[in-house]
Amino acid sequence: MTVASQVKQTLASLKGVQGTLRIYSTQTQDEETVSVFQEALETTSAVINDLEKRLQVLEYQEPQYKGN
């Protein structure tokens, strides 16, 4: 597995986490919990952004693996 695909895998699982967190942040009743989940959403978004940028660089460096 190349670095790019490893990063992609991590990115995918983080996005999965984010989606589930989003579900919980909408269906939870307690406001404190909701705010914790929302904060978590922001953090994961930031991490996902950074990873996506890095992925672009990686794909530019190893174009032969693009799309894997």
Residue ranges that bind another protein, judged by CB under 8 A: 3, 6-7, 9-10, 13-14, 16-17, 20-21, 23-24, 27-30, 32-33, 36-37, 39-40, 43-44, 46-47, 50-51, 54, 57
Q: Is 8 exposed, middle or buried (0-12, 13-18, 19+ CB in 10 A)?
A: buried
Helices (H), the chain: 3-27, 31-61
CB of 41 to another protein, least distance (A): 10
Least distance in Å: CB of 16 to another protein? 6
